[in-house]
Amino acid sequence: MTDATVLDQWRTELAGLEPLELPADRPRPPVREPGTARCTRTVPAGTADALRKAAAGYGAPLPVVLLAAYQLLLGRWSRRQDVAVGTPLAGELTVVRTDLAGAAAFGDLVERAGEALRGAQSRPEVPFPDLVAALAPEPDGGHHPLVQVLFAPDTVPATPAGTCPPDLALVFEDREAEIEVHVDFSTALFDAATAERFAGNYLTLLAAVAEAPGAAPGDLDILGAAERHLLLTEWSARPASFPAGRGVAELVAERAGLTPDAPAVVFGDEEVTYAALNTRANRLAHHLRSLGVAPDVPVGVCLERGPELVVALLAVLKAGGAYVPLDPEHPVDRLDFVLRDTAAPVVVTQESLRGRLAGEGRVLVAVDTDRAAVAACGDADPEPAAGPDHLAYVLYTSGSTGTPKGVAITLGSLVGLLFGMREIFPAPASDRVLFTTSATFDIANVEVFLPLITGGRIIGADREQVHTPRALAALVDRHGATLVQATPSAWRPLLEALGDGPEPRELTVFTAGEALPADLAAKMLRAGRRVVNGYGPTETTVYATVAEIRDAAGPVPIGRPTPNTEVYVVDEADRPVPVGVPGELLIGGRGVARGYLGRPDLTRERFTAHPFPAYAADGPGARVYRTGDLVRWLPDGNLEFLGRLDHQVKVRGFRIELGEIESALLAHPDVDSCVVTVREDVPGGVPGEKALVAYCVPAAGRAPGVGALRDWCGRGLPGYMVPGAFVFLDRLPLTTSGKTDRTALPAPDGERTGLEAAFVAPRTPAERAVARIWAEALWADEVSAHDDFFELGGDSLTATRVALRLQEEFGLEIPVRVLFTCSTVETLAKALTAARRAGGFPAA
């Protein structure tokens, strides 16, 4: 039996060691088959001789130098500083753990690897099965026990009985002149091409050590010249020309001159021609100029969906100002914050919204009641006042400190985006574009301005249609929409409403804003002639990459750079990472925003100097935006999105800083501490779909209710940032380091925790039907007749799905608005019963 003292030494040595996850080509199976394959490379004699001399200079044997290089490469591939490998020692497999952090020179790593190896040699021999039994007693059929990678001279040590083989093993043979390097890899995880790249990176690293044995580890390159050229030139950029000196307003005016009588905007029964649109925008632009609007002056735009919204956005650009979109559904506090933060002197709105926007020193232009004053202004196109470096719009995104931040986008960036989209979506794709997105979401710029500069038409959806998939599907078919963009979450109910026809529609299905699941991609391929997946932060002007989706096999990529965009995947030191290796996505090119309005420190943090200035299209002084997104290059040159590096998330296409929601909740007197996270197992959710969950610890003696907390959040946060579920805990789980252990947070269970109303069983057939449908949609164990849909965790997207189920149950066309006005089981059941007797719901 192994001495307990020796096992305690090993426990100390391996404390906190986590599995080394190399970027694999396939998901790790729970039980892995033992299949392996080998690729072989040769270290040339000249390099091998230089390595032997370097080893002598380090005072270390050559195998230790090869081991240190292997661990450094594993660290680069896995984004880890703590790297352990298995290696044979006295006939047994042992573990060599090396800390790569803080090494000033590669020789330091050689010394550390040598010390770790000597430490293992100094301990009494322990049979590896005994070590596994003591330190990793729970078998894992997908991982080699304790270590996932091996390093050995000549041959790979035998795999212990009953365990799977290592993910990767490096075997070396030191010959008289050359050094033979073999990479043995699990065929269940890796393709041969991946192993070949790893072996190539290793030889490149050894050559760098041989050339500069005193170099810092961070200065040692692992990319060969061909791979570096591929990553920094061929795949990273897509140059294209566009009229950088002309603005959107001039382009639309030019189109109006070419096709004055063609329809430009269609909302319901109202159709606005290009000539009329241009004239109406000109008049409003002249009026705005008379109020002091000029280049870089922000102008709030808060209007219900309709032609006047398109007119107002275009008019602000014609006046030379920058529009600041405001959603009428957002809380008053949110609207007021945005207007104060931008110091917008003018707001274009309508009379019904005036009370939500009043503020000192703020001029409100109501397009309905101020119609006469606007109509009195000139019809002619205003002389252009703004250039490509002036602002086009300021759009607010969530802030990690609890404060939203305004992204300032220039005219040149907007024009570059539109011409890039025109290249990606030429006619007829851009002929009839569905406009469904809130103007506060940056993809609305494509829906509004792409058809206007190409001579197409905007097919507008009102607020009711936006939230009713069947109405939206009818709009698509009525007008023969050729381009529809929406988040994957919004596409699910829309595809269901569109149904499967004998042939795909003449429709380009464009999706963005969140990860696209493969099953949804398959449905999209049956719905339209073309499916495109896009990606892009607000800070880089809507879209930075797009992917043409032709099949739904495997992870759906986010594609290649859009025209005039540059993309780079880098490690923590801004070095380009190899193909297949995760890294942070940096974005450069014409779309990079000016920065955050009034936030110079944050701007300097996120918009930094170009790490590869020799490759920058913008020349000296070029900048990149640090996305905080983790991606990797696929072998075909497409990018795959892997997740976030921080606590920023995307839910249903909206970018959300979890810290902003936590700040709002912590301001409530009944909440002592909280954490907000994203889960896919939330009541009301669709499998694979993300939702926000708030975990709250009540203040001493307090018992906050779900409804009260939802209302509190809704006062200052837009609806998409209000958590869909609340879980109350006595305390937040902590890790050994004292941080919140997010992995230990329990899943919402659908119980009535925190609901104020006592349970009342549904009494009528209609109430029982509504309660059953709600329970299914919200994963609730029981639904009371007095329960409120939104207090149970429902939201606008869940309401859309519930409306579809209710329509099937009651045989009625049910507008989603009904769930907002009749939000309890009792009131909704009464409304449904009355509507069935009356033959339907009245029009809004």
d(CA 231, CA 197): 14
What are 549's strand-pairing partners? 531
Judged on CB neighbours under 10 Å (0-12, 13-18, 19+), 781 is: exposed
φ, ψ at 755 (rounded to 5°): -80, 130
* Strand 92-99 to 82-89 pairing: antiparallel
pLDDT tens digits along 550-574: 988 878 899 999 999 999 999 999 9
Q: Compute the average pLDDT of residues 106-112.
A: 97
Looking at residue 2, its pLDDT comes to: 62
| Cα distance between residue 154 and residue 138, in whole Å | 31
Task: pLDDT band for 328, please (50, 70, 90 cuts).
Answer: very high
User: Is 70 exceeded by the pLDDT of residue 602?
Assistant: yes
Residue 675 is encoded by which pair of tokens?
A: 């954490």
Q: Report H helices in 16-91.
A: 45-58, 62-78
pLDDT for position 737 = 42
Most confident of 26-40, 478-492, 676-690: 478-492
pLDDT of residue 161: 60
How far CA 371 is from CA of 303, 703, 763, in Å, comes to 14, 51, 52
Nearest CA to 94 out of 151, 141, 142 is that of 151
Domains in the chain, CATH or no CATH each = 4-222 (3.30.559.30), 248-631 (3.40.50.12780), 648-744 (3.30.300.30), 765-838 (1.10.1200.10)
Q: What is the largest CA-CA distance in the chain?
A: 98
DSSP 242: -
Residue 185's DSSP bridge partners are 37, 168
Whether 735 has a pLDDT exceeding 60, the answer reads: no
With pLDDT > 70 as the criterion, what percentage of the chain qualifies?
93
Average pLDDT of the residues in 436-451: 95
Q: Which of 360-364, 494-498, 515-519 has the lowest mean pLDDT?
A: 515-519
| C-alpha dist (Å) from residue 436 to 331, 491, 509 | 20, 12, 14
Q: pLDDT grade, residue 8 (50/70/90)?
A: confident
pLDDT band per the 50, 70, 90 thresholds, residue 724:
confident
Which tokens go with 449?
A: 């301005």
Rounded to 5°, angle at Cα 318 from 314 and 319? 120
**Interval 194-211: pLDDT, tens:** 999 999 999 999 999 999
Question: For 813-821, what is the mean pLDDT?
Answer: 77
What is the structure's pLDDT at 561?
Answer: 97
Whether residue 724 contacts residue 693, with contact meaning beta carbons closer than 8 Å, is answered with: yes
Between 826 and 204, name the one with better pLDDT: 204
Say yes or no to pLDDT of 739 above 70.
Answer: no
Question: Could you tell me if 112 and 119 are in contact, meaning their C-beta atoms sit under 8 angstroms apart?
Answer: no
| Three-class DSSP category at 450 | helix
**Which residue matches tokens 């404390």?**
15
Least confidently predicted of 58-72, 589-603, 782-796? 782-796
Residues 6+ apart with CB under 8 A from 512: 443, 485, 487, 533, 534, 535, 536, 543, 653
274: which residues sit within 8 A by CB, 6+ positions away?
252, 255, 256, 259, 260, 261, 262, 263, 264, 455
pLDDT at 749: 67
Percent of residues in the chain assigned helix, strand, coil, to nearest 5 = 35, 20, 40
| 12-70 per-position pLDDT tens digit | 888 888 888 899 998 887 677 778 999 999 999 999 999 999 999 999 999 999 999 99
pLDDT tens-digit series, residues 171-194: 999 988 999 999 999 999 999 999
206/470: higher pLDDT: 206
At 830, is the secondary structure helix, strand, or coil? Answer: helix
Give me the mean pLDDT over the 536-555 stretch: 92
Q: Cα(404)–Cα(337) distance, rounded to whole angstroms?
A: 9
- Average confidence (pLDDT) over 370-382: 95
pLDDT of residue 798: 74
pLDDT band at 458 (very low <50, low <70, confident <90, very high): very high
Mean pLDDT of the chain: 88
Confidence band for 399, pLDDT divided at 50, 70 and 90: low
Residue 1 has pLDDT above 70, yes or no: no
Cβ neighbours, 10 Å, residue 356: 15
The DSSP output letter for 353 is: G
Question: pLDDT tens, 789-816?
Answer: 777 767 666 777 788 778 778 878 877 7
Give 743-800 as a DSSP string.
GGPPPP----TT--SPP----SHHHHHHHHHHHHHHT-S---TT-BTTTTT--HHHHH
- Over residues 217-269, the pLDDT tens digits come to 999 999 999 999 999 999 999 888 878 778 999 999 999 999 999 999 999 99
**Confidence band of 329 (pLDDT split at 50, 70, 90):** confident
Segment 574-603 shows an average pLDDT of 96
Dist CA 90 CA 386 (whole Å): 76
Integer CA distances (angstroms), 267 to 463, 472, 488, in order: 11, 12, 24
pLDDT at residue 681 tops 70:
no
Is pLDDT of 756 > 80? no
Q: What percent of the chain has pLDDT over 90?
A: 56
